[in-house]
Structures are given as C-alpha cells and as structure tokens.
Amino acid sequence: MTRPARAMTGVVTGALLITTMGFGSSPAAAATSAATPTGLSFKGVSLKTRTAMVPKSKPTLLARARTMLQRNRIVKIAREQIGDKYVAGHTGPNAFDCSGLTSYVYTLATGKTIPRTSWTQYRSVSKVSRTKVMPGDLVFFFKRGVHHVGVYVGAGKMVHAARPKDGVEIANLADDWFSTHLSGFGRMLPAL
C-alpha cells in the first residue's frame, strides 16, 4: 500500500469516526472531498496538517448554559442564607440587610459586583414583566420608589432580608404586603 492510500484510508476512517461521534451529518457527506490551496481536505479533516477540526459549539448555546448555571447558583446561594440575621448595613456572610443580601449572593454566584443599595440595583437592571421573571432575577418593592429588594427563586417566591425579627427568609409574592407594594422585577443576567 502506498503512502497516499494510507493517508486516504486514515482520513476516511477519521471522517467516519467524527460523523459517528455526532460531528458530521453522514458518512457519505463526511467522505466528500474538495481540493483546496492548502491540500486535500475532507469535512473536518485536513490532510496537510493531519489534524481533525472539530466544529465549535454555538456561542449562544454555551452562553445560555453558562447563564443557566449562574442562575441556579444564585438561587442556591440565596436559599443557603435563609435563617441568617437581618442587620442594617450588613453585607454578609452571616448578617444582611436586603441589598446586602442581593449583592452578596450575586458576587458569590457570578464573581461580579453589583451596586450596593436597592435603588442603585434597580437603576442598573433591565426591567422585566411578571410573566417573564426568572429564578435569579431581582424583585423590588415600594411603588413610589425602591426601598426593598429580594432574589426571585421561582414559583412566585423570593429570598429576602426585611426585619431583624425574621432575618433572611423565603416569602411568597402573593402575600398581601408584597403584592400591593411591588415595584417590579429586574434582570442582571441575560435571559435563557
């Protein structure tokens, strides 16, 4: 067997492997060749460099997966703070005020700092409707301004720190006070 025949056999075998691993469309399509200025190439394989060129994942899928993991981490970290003390002006890790909790959770979950107060957080988010709110978004209260914030954790609930007697707790947004004082929802992370 001559050297070109071995190379051709290796390329076809490589193309079939790439196809069966889900990177190509069919064995026939993978073995289709075209002459290029850099040498003979097959779908995903170059004879000149002898390297397989695995298709890159779509950036949007990777970005969505990354965002989904960050959202899950935000919710997990927020829930882990339930039972901690409420202390005005505190940002954790064992005592929080409302915006101290949200800034702590976001920094720990995403590695990025967000504004410290509920009002500056409200100004820096993208506003979203109740129908589009997602776990990991922020929830703001007091209709004529923003004086309270919590982390939306799904199912109409949030984790927040409001009063010294209650500390960090989970609350239902349908409860009377929350439903009548809701300012809106805000998004720091992209939607999925």
- What dihedral do alpha carbons 83, 87, 91, 93 form, nearest 10°? -40
Full-prediction pTM beyond 0.75?
A: no
Residues 6+ away with beta carbon under 8 Å from 94: 84, 85
Is the previous residue joined to 93 through a cis bond, with omega within 30 degrees of 0? yes
Indicate which residue of 90, 98, 147, 181 is catalytic.
98
51 vs 42: CA distance, rounded Å = 11
For the chain, report the end-to-end CA distance as a whole number of angstroms: 54
Our answer to whether residue 148 is catalytic in this structure is yes
Which of 102 and 52 is assigned the larger pLDDT? 102
Predicted pLDDT at 13: 44
Predicted pLDDT at 74: 98
Distances (CA, A) of 38 to 6, 24, 32, 33, 91: 19, 22, 17, 13, 59
133 vs 157: CA distance, rounded Å = 11
Our answer to whether residue 90 is catalytic in this structure is no
149 vs 156: CA distance, rounded Å = 15
Of these ranges, 15-24, 26-35, 120-129, 182-191, the one predicted with the greatest mean pLDDT is 120-129
Which amino acid appears at position 136 of this protein?
G
Indicate which residue of 90, 147, 148, 181 is catalytic.
148
Residues across the chain: 192
Q: Please state the domain extents for the chain.
A: 3-52, 59-187
Nearest one of 81, 49, 183, 93 to 129, comparing CA atoms: 183
Q: Would the pLDDT of 23 be above 80?
A: no
Superfamily of domain 59-187: endopeptidase domain like (from Nostoc punctiforme) (3.90.1720.10)
Which of 8 and 136 is assigned the larger pLDDT? 136
Contact 185, 131 (CB under 8 A): no
Consecutive H or E run containing 157: strand 157-161
What's the whole-number average pLDDT of the chain?
A: 80
CA angle 11, 12, 15 (to 5 degrees): 85
Our answer to whether residue 147 is catalytic in this structure is no
- The average pLDDT across 60-74 equals 93
